[in-house]
Structure 1
């Protein structure tokens, strides 16, 4: 390429949910761009970080209205900073993000969409979903998988959901990786495959891939929402750049 600066779009990252996930988003975005373009090229990004303490408090108080109002100010900061497209680094927070971005003139990549497309391409129909309690218990993510991609979503039992959620909030968002928690996640996944007919597993929290990933069960497809979301963001950002080569 001889024309500089390279014409790529700016990816707006709504971060802080958690800071651990945000760091990995930034790493993945840059690694993927560099893998595609080579040399010294990386992504052009704008990151606005939220205070995870606020998010945790709103979620556990079931105060979605306050959470949406808090997030809306941060989304507006991304737009003002020149983002061309927005990604949110949390499966859980896509519930308020959908409402916020419906009234704003900016492109947005929903985390379910690249994951649902990957599952469909893999030829699977019935998949298990891990994540925070809202992701597993509310219908906003499950319905999008089911209605847009024709998938059947199965979720863990109530006791398993509580355990999965606790591990996310008490360990993974603090970058604590414990062997016993890894073993428990895999045990739950295996039960869902055996008893519920799950053909694969959605890692539906952006920190879960740190605990379990495809290498742990090569014969049981796992879908890393964090990585797939970043791949889709780079596709968007580099569309014009790659056409110009």
Structure 2
């Protein structure tokens, strides 16, 4: 007999970016814990759901300072609520998150780390990165992949980046999954493989796996940051 209540660490989800991604994180975390523990067991979680309208406006306005202040208040709420670890449901928002957590005594799981480890385990060293424009155009995630995991990151061209970003903000964060957008993403991935030597693809936005996935290109490895992040969080929570 298992003593109750069963002890596990509480995962603090910094959510709302987007609500679609947050719902998938909650589902995946609970599914993973249940797969490991069985019965009726699921994860212990706290969710701070940010208003994605605020996130979108601050990102579009390139107001990283305002975004950091907004996020910091939500992180503090998770800490006050008893979270044992912070999990941010957005690749994009890891840019301000690192500085926020540097001043706070709580561990976090960076979304790059389980993804980079999976890529290295697969024996790849040159991979493409899809995500929002900040993810693809700024260096904060690319540099972590390169310095910590020795990877070469390939990004799409300017027009392709704009269309990838548009599909994320206009469709995926609203749960709008379109065949035409799937074709666009796969065409860009195919070009990066053929012309840029990409050996695989990082799904570097936490909604992208709802649009494309490994079955679409069985011979071209895809790395789902959402799923990998959740698995790493469950490893921590049950350790």
TM-score range, shorter chain: over 0.9
RMSD: 0.4
Distance 1:184 1:23 in 2: 25
Structure 1 runs (4+) deviating above 2 angstroms are none
Compute the displacement of 1:178 (Å).
0.5
Counterpart in the other structure of 2:51: 51
Cα deviation, 1:77-128, whole Å, max 9, x if unaligned, reads: 0000000000000000000000100110001000000000000000000000
Counterpart in the other structure of 1:231: 231
Counterpart in the other structure of 1:3: 3
Counterpart in the other structure of 1:74: 74
Counterpart in the other structure of 1:210: 210
Distance 2:18 2:140 in 1: 20
Counterpart in the other structure of 1:24: 24
Distance 2:163 2:123 in 1: 30
Counterpart in the other structure of 2:194: 194
The answer to whether structure 1 residue 64 and structure 2 residue 64 are counterparts is yes
The 5-angstrom pairing of residues 1-245 of structure 1 reads 1-239=1-239
Distance 1:215 1:46 in 2: 33
Distance 1:110 1:154 in 2: 20
Cα deviation, 1:50-78, whole Å, max 9, x if unaligned, reads: 00000000000000000000000000000
Compute the displacement of 1:157 (Å).
0.1
Distance 1:31 1:14 in 2: 19
Compute the displacement of 1:4 (Å).
1.2
Compute the displacement of 1:7 (Å).
1.3
What SS does the corresponding residue of 1:128 show, helix, strand or coil? Answer: strand
What SS does the corresponding residue of 2:159 show, helix, strand or coil? Answer: helix
Structure-2-length-normalised TM-score: 0.99
